[in-house]
Amino acid sequence: MIPALSLDNITCTFVSKDDRSQRYTAVADTTLNIAPGEFVSVVGPTGCGKSTLLNVGAGLLEPSSGTVKVFGQPLNGINSRAGYMFQAEALMPWRSALQNVIAGLQFRGVAEDDARRQGEEWLTRVGLQGFGDRYPHQLSGGMRKRVALAQTLVLDPDIILMDEPFSALDIQTRQLMENEVLDLWNAKKKAVLFITHDLDEAIAMSDRVVVLSAGPATRPIGEFVIDLPRPRDVAEIRTHPRFVELHAQIWGVLREEVLKGYQQQKQKV
Ligand SMILES: Nc1ncnc2c1ncn2[C@@H]1O[C@H](COP(=O)(O)OP(=O)(O)OP(=O)(O)O)[C@@H](O)[C@H]1O
């Protein structure tokens, strides 16, 4: 089967702004394939290169070497078959919730009536019916995330790239959002690349979890198939004996890297 997203032998080396002779290889020789409809999470210690990989998949960052393919086609420039959701707030404060949701459709030249209809549908799907006229500052953090989710999914991307989208939320709101994402994913089965620090979240959501080593020259050091039943409730699945078993196995690989990453961060301070 042709992967939806294929990162083949990717290396990303950055040149220091202050000293052009200084180089830092964030990611080295990394291969990662995501099948159509597959939900893959990437976990790793802080600063190891997770966002760098996602940016490569999004076409926002050109790797120093290696190839990126989208449904078998080499990627040149922005990945137009992907939708992104980042940790930081991406809503436009001067636009209402509905106007934020339909911004991408307008950009694509979809007729205003059609865009509004689709926007309203998506606001309903993410539980925000009747909130379309509110501005971002009039919404809670969880509601703003829902708007951002609708904004991403209204474009019906074949690949969804998420970089710690819920890390700023309180635990209850976060679990609600995770379940919503799983329900929406279950209905449409798009390829998802999900970046997270949180191993519990990665296991609860995914078909597969990839563990990255601490930097520099980060690479995958473990890959685990998450054979837990679906549909899942992210809070309930954590008590499943198989979840506990998988958690112990993956943490066995991740623990040392997290400690290394932590030491490196301390040295940087
Ligand atoms: N444009 C850049 N120029 C120079 N160095 C960079 C650049 N982008 C990332 N880096 C470095 O590459 C490494 C990996 O960064 P990245 O943001 O991908 O890590 P991460 O795993 O997503 O981090 P976190 O878990 O903290 O979000 C870091 O050491 C970072 O400082």
**Atom number in ligand 1 closest to CA 24:** 5
Cα angle 211, 212, 215; round to 5: 160
Q: Is 48 in the pocket of ligand 1 (CB under 6 A)?
A: yes
Give the integer Cα–Cα distance in Å for 216 and 203: 25
Q: What is the CATH number of domain 5-81+157-268?
A: 3.40.50.300
pTM exceeds 0.80 for this model: yes
Ligand 1 centroid from CA 141, angstroms? 25
Looking at every residue in the chain, the average pLDDT score rounds to: 92
Ligand 1 centroid from CA 53, angstroms? 10
Residues near 214 by Cβ (< 8 Å), separated by ≥ 6? 44, 45, 48, 257, 258, 260, 261, 264
Q: What is the mean pLDDT of residues 144-169?
A: 90
Q: What is the pLDDT of residues 167-198, one digit of tens each?
A: 888 888 889 889 989 998 999 899 999 999 89
Widest Cα–Cα separation across the chain:
56
Residue whose structure tokens are 């998949």 = 57
Q: Is 218 in the pocket of ligand 1 (CB under 6 A)?
A: no
Instruction: Identify the band that residue 269 occupies on the pLDDT scale cut at 50, 70 and 90.
Output: low
Which one has a higher pLDDT value, 215 or 124? Answer: 124
Give the integer Cα–Cα distance in Å for 105 and 63: 29
Residue minimizing CA distance to atom 30 of ligand 1:
47
Residue minimizing CA distance to atom 9 of ligand 1:
52
Q: Is 16 in the pocket of ligand 1 (CB under 6 A)?
A: no
Q: Map out the domains of the chain as residue ranges.
A: 5-81+157-268
pLDDT at 214 over 80: yes
Question: Can you give the length of the chain in residues?
Answer: 269
Joined together, the tokens standing for residue 98 give 């509905």
Q: Is ipTM strictly over 0.90?
A: yes
Q: What is the mean pLDDT of residues 61-72?
A: 97
Residue minimizing CA distance to atom 29 of ligand 1:
47
Q: Is 14 in the pocket of ligand 1 (CB under 6 A)?
A: yes
Residue minimizing CA distance to atom 4 of ligand 1:
14
Provide the pLDDT for residue 141.
86
Which stretch of 29-43, 78-92, 110-124 has the lowest confidence by average pLDDT?
Answer: 78-92
pLDDT at 127 over 70: yes
Instruction: Give the DSSP H/E element, type plus range, for residue 208.
Output: strand 208-212
Provide the pLDDT for residue 36.
96
Which one has a higher pLDDT value, 141 or 182? Answer: 182
Provide the pLDDT for residue 168.
80
Provide the pLDDT for residue 25.
93
